[in-house]
Amino acid sequence: MANIANIVVWCLLIDRGKKCMALPFRVWVPLDAIVNDLKKEVKKDNSDLNEVAIRNLVVWRCKEPKLFIWEKEEWLVEHIKGINFKNKAAAVELPVTVQVASLGLQPEEVLVVQLSSAGSVGELQQIRY
């Protein structure tokens, strides 16, 4: 349960092939949380990630267009497929030591959490659209 000292962050979990692994979901982190704390909460809230090390989760913030929770799921899925994560004009990898509150996330903006190429996905099921 969230309390006054927490902030809500919306996340979209994708695999290294940019396929959505879950619908967008929210996690609560303390106001002083850093990105590494956010990754821990994402892992805690997704039992499919039990075998994945925190270091193998990468958090991205899309630039233009930004992702928002109110977008249709199909649009989010297609948009994610088209993002070149190596292009810093499209998305920025968030360093693990950056404070989440300092990002200035817009209400209901979605961060992308991706399994890195070193991550093991095991038998994770992906959403089919």
In a domain, 74, yes or no: yes
In a domain, 76, yes or no: yes
- Confidence band for 5, pLDDT divided at 50, 70 and 90: confident
In a domain, 24, yes or no: yes
Domain count of the fold of the chain:
1
Q: Taking the complete model, does pTM exceed 0.75, yes or no? A: yes
In a domain, 33, yes or no: yes
Q: Which domain, by its residues, includes 70?
A: 6-115
Question: Residue 29 is part of a domain; what is its CATH number?
Answer: 3.10.20.90
The pLDDT value given to residue 6 = 92
Report the C-alpha gap between 37 and 33 in whole angstroms.
6
- Confidence band for 118, pLDDT divided at 50, 70 and 90: low
In a domain, 32, yes or no: yes
Q: Which of 46, 12, 10, 55 is nearest to 28 (CA)?
A: 10
